């Protein structure tokens, strides 16, 4: 089960994750330091850690760091799991941004679940986009909170054109499916979370001038079109191949010399 989680999870995040398969003697809730060290080594802020023991079977620990220090961790127990490879015929193209759906008002009202939602978004969401192409919307990940359990479902989207402008959405179950129970957690203090969420004010001038860094060999003309300059080595005109003629052939002696 552990393996499936790793494989299917990493498949969804493929170009942006590293799987560490070695056995570690790490307990994130007892000592977070080795995790922090590993994260620093691979320059990642998010980590997913799986473990299995008698007390806490099928354990998945999801957490994130801020400035190399722990921000929050959630421990989740897997109750039922169906991986991506179990349900055949469907694959996802790499690097596709999923649609995230959160069902239930508990994700807004309960503080721990609100934090967990934030973490899930951080884990699955990729960069914000200003431009979208409909064919790039391929799958949905749903989180529903029922009886203190989080139901994670993944569906594939198919869109059918209805009328001139509208598209009708149809879903097929794809996997991974999981029922998760909440176990231990560490939530960031309000101050730290606020500090982590600070958005710097960026002046438009700074953006125009590339934050004071000089851009070499690129100019913009009056029509704002980009003009680049390419530097090349000087061309050796003597070696230039021109039209071959018998009369222009070099003498044998000089040819051998060269």
Partner 1 sequence: MAVMDIIKEILEKDEQNKNIAAESTSVSKLIPPECFPRDLMVFDTNELNIPKLRGPDKEKELLSLTRDCTQILINTILSFPKEIKDGKVFVQLSGPSYNLPREKPVPVPKPLTKWQKFAQDKGLRKKKKPKSTWDDVLQKWIPTYGYRKAAAEKEKNWVLEVPQNVHPNTDMFAEKTKTKKENIAKNEYQRLRNVAASRKIKVPKVGIPPMETNLHVSQLKDAANIARISTASIGKFQPKLPEEKHLKQRKPLNRQKKRPLLNTDEEKQFNMNIAEGIVKKKPKLNISKAVNKQIYEEQSQRNKEKQEKKGKKRKNFTNNKFHSKKKPKGQQGRVGKKKNTGRKRR
171 binds partner 1 (CB under 8 A): yes
Q: Are the C-beta atoms of 186 and 179 separated by less than 8 Å?
A: no
Q: Taking the CA atoms of the chain, what radius of gyration do you get in angstroms?
A: 28
Of 24-32, 50-58, 170-178, 218-226, which segment contacts partner 1 by CB under 8 A?
170-178
Closest by Cα among 48, 51, 10 to 27? 51
131 binds partner 1 (CB under 8 A): yes
Q: Which helix (H) or strand (E) holds 106?
A: helix 106-109
The whole-angstrom separation of Cα 84 and Cα 177 is 8
CB of 151: closest distance to partner 1 in angstroms? 7
97 binds partner 1 (CB under 8 A): yes
Q: Which is nearer to partner 1, 27 or 171 (CB)?
A: 171
Q: Are the C-beta atoms of 9 and 20 separated by less than 8 Å?
A: no
* Contact string 38-77 vs partner 1 (x = CB under 8 A): -------x------------------xxxx---x------
CB of 196: closest distance to partner 1 in angstroms? 4
State the CB neighbour count (10 A cutoff) for residue 226.
8
Tell which one of 49, 155, 175, 176 touches partner 1 (CB under 8 A): 155
Both tokens assigned to 21? 């398969």
CB proximity list for 101: less than 8 A, separation 6 or greater? 140, 141, 142, 143
* Contact string 110-129 vs partner 1 (x = CB under 8 A): --------x--xx--x--xx
Binding site residues, partner 1, CB under 8 A:
45, 64-67, 71, 97-105, 107-108, 118, 121-122, 125, 128-134, 137, 140, 142, 144-147, 151, 153, 155, 157, 159, 162-163, 165-171, 173, 188, 193, 195-200
């Amino acid at each position: 089960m552990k393996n499936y989680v790793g494989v299917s999870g990493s498949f969804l995040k493929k170009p942006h994750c590293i799987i560490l398969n070695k056995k570690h003697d790490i307990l994130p809730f007892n000592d977070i330091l080795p995790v922090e060290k590993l994260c620093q080594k691979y320059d990642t802020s998010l980590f997913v850690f799986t473990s299995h023991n008698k007390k806490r079977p099928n354990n998945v620990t999801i957490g994130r760091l801020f400035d190399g220090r722990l921000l929050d961790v959630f421990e989740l127990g897997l109750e039922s799991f169906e991986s991506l490879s179990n349900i055949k015929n469907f694959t996802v193209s790499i690097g596709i941004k999923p649609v995230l759906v959160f069902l239930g008002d508990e994700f807004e009202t309960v503080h721990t679940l609100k934090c967990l939602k934030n973490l899930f978004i951080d884990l699955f969401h990729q960069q914000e986009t200003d431009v979208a192409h409909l064919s790039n919307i391929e799958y949905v990940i749903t989180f529903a909170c029922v009886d203190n359990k989080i139901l994670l479902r993944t569906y594939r989207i198919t869109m059918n054109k209805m009328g001139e402008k509208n598209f009708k959405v149809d879903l097929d179950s794809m996997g991974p499916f999981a029922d998760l129970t909440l176990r231990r957690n560490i939530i960031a203090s309000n101050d730290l979370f606020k500090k982590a969420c600070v958005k710097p004010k960026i002046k438009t001038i700074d953006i125009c001038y590339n934050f004071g860094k000089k851009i070499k060999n690129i100019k913009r003309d009056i029509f704002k079109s980009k003009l680049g300059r390419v530097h090349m080595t000087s061309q050796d005109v003597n070696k230039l191949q021109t039209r071959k003629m018998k009369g222009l052939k070099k003498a044998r002696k000089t040819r051998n010399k060269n």
